[in-house]
Structure 1
């Protein structure tokens, strides 16, 4: 994969902040819109690009409204805050001020499902990808490495579409291609009919650890929506046995997977944050991953149950 610059192994959110200054240099039509969160990390971008980093205060509905107005004026807004404040709280504005107006923006979240576990339920948003995917015309990227964040940002800053980029505190050890496709990472010996485990974004290293000695192939994507249906069909084979491991609400990708495999007899397991119960605990992100079965041990249990 070609990345835009050689950089230290940063976490995803830090790489986003460090990339903003060169991004604003390279794309004169881009503005950054904030609701306080993140402003303390953008001093260089604010100093070098006066008027192009706009902080609306703790007003998340206005955050999206301002982005919609900028887009209508021909600007390319990059909008940033925690996922629960970027997607859930101003969802009507995302639907109307961007979608209904048919204008583009790049929404970049932090916090993911439970990264800010100490902040409580107000700062957790496992349903964000499902909500965005329910609106027409959106692309969702879930990168798993800081270099992927940089590549996605520069590509989408030069575009015109509606894009959601979900940043997580979890990350993989190396970058992978972020071209929207599914990529085979482990071939399971290459035998036909070997079950397939599809890891989304930062879940790849966990899936590789969980399935190290299991008879499965492992694939990966950073773009779960729209899903690479042709790639899934090619990898899944004529009678798929498939597990989809996603770091957000379990079953978010179910409709897209079902549509891709509609003409094939298949057994499909979706592994993610369970939606039927709510974990009323603080703890650490690692605690939450274990409680939801999204650590290596939990993923292994679920995949083993699929294998029977």
Structure 2
């Protein structure tokens, strides 16, 4: 299986052939994947070198001319380092573009904390109007990348990862996918956390929702799932049709497992269920820095995101 980054380079190279409005801006990282595209479209594949603020500034400038820029580098260099440029050159100027990151929270542990960005989605939450996709498989990355490239002038962040689920799911951009249904709570697995979550909840009577788009947050699907699980309203179908699902039944228990900063989306869950009793547990990367880097699997275990740790934390929360 190819990686999400390999699929990204292949798909966007083909999209450059098809859509003259697209342009790719790189900051050295990822340039090898676009070598052929750079020869075919030297005016629309731009490598600014190791200058991340310039990377975003050039993307914003291309957007001002009517282009649809696609910017790529590691998440820590795409969101955190040039955040002022993201805020001003895209947000303040009202421009749209596609930011595609790699490395994420823990993809290259040996690279150290300079190459980790567990706070990237939380940081983008301080800005208005960003769509955030978190695919869990290269096939899903392709679906979401194609959607982002064609998304008019919207601002879209696509968070790619070396950590992937074993198989793709039939996702729809912007919607949560119901993977299984249960009565004792709802667990939302974000992107590459799905396999670990499914292993963790085996034998538990819970609903599992799979989220590959986390912003905007799919309130409709979560409300339907919590209404069905708590026996409130008219069940999942009626709640989904009405778009409410509020009722006077038992409190809804929701766990959200994200591959970035723990609690990033707990506010979105609370806002979704503000009119009904509920509890929410946000699991993800803690603020405590893990300084022993090892492998991705060792990193997940150290952060409590392996199946055994997740089961203990999820089951303990539901028992309370």
Pairwise TM-score range, normalised by the shorter structure: over 0.9
Map 1:152-231; keep pairs closer than 5 Å: 152-159=144-151, 160-176=153-169, 177-188=171-182, 193-231=183-221
Checking the alignment, whether the CA contact within 8 Å between 1:27 and 1:157 is kept in structure 2 is no
What is aligned with 1:92? 84
Counterpart Cα distance in 1 of 2:127 and 2:108: 26
* Structure 1 gaps, min length 5: 1-8
Counterpart Cα distance in 1 of 2:172 and 2:36: 28
Counterpart Cα distance in 2 of 1:259 and 1:37: 38
- 1:48-91 Cα deviation digits (max 9, x unpaired): 22221100010000000000000001000000000000000000
Equivalent position to 2:298, from 282, 287, 291: 287
Equivalent position to 2:285, from 244, 250, 273: 273
> In the TM superposition, what is the alpha-carbon distance from 1:154 to its structure 2 partner?
1.6
TM-score (norm 1): 0.93
More displaced stretch, 171-180 vs 219-228 = 171-180
SS at match of 2:215: coil
Q: Which has the higher contact order (CA 8 A, sep 6+)?
A: 1
Map 1:1-308; keep pairs closer than 5 Å: 9-159=1-151, 160-176=153-169, 177-188=171-182, 193-237=183-227, 238=232, 239-275=251-287, 277-308=288-319
Q: Tell me how large the CA RMSD over aligned residues is.
A: 1.1
* Structure 2 gaps, min length 5: 233-250
Superposed structure 1 runs of 4+ greater than 6 Å apart: none
Q: How many residues align?
A: 295
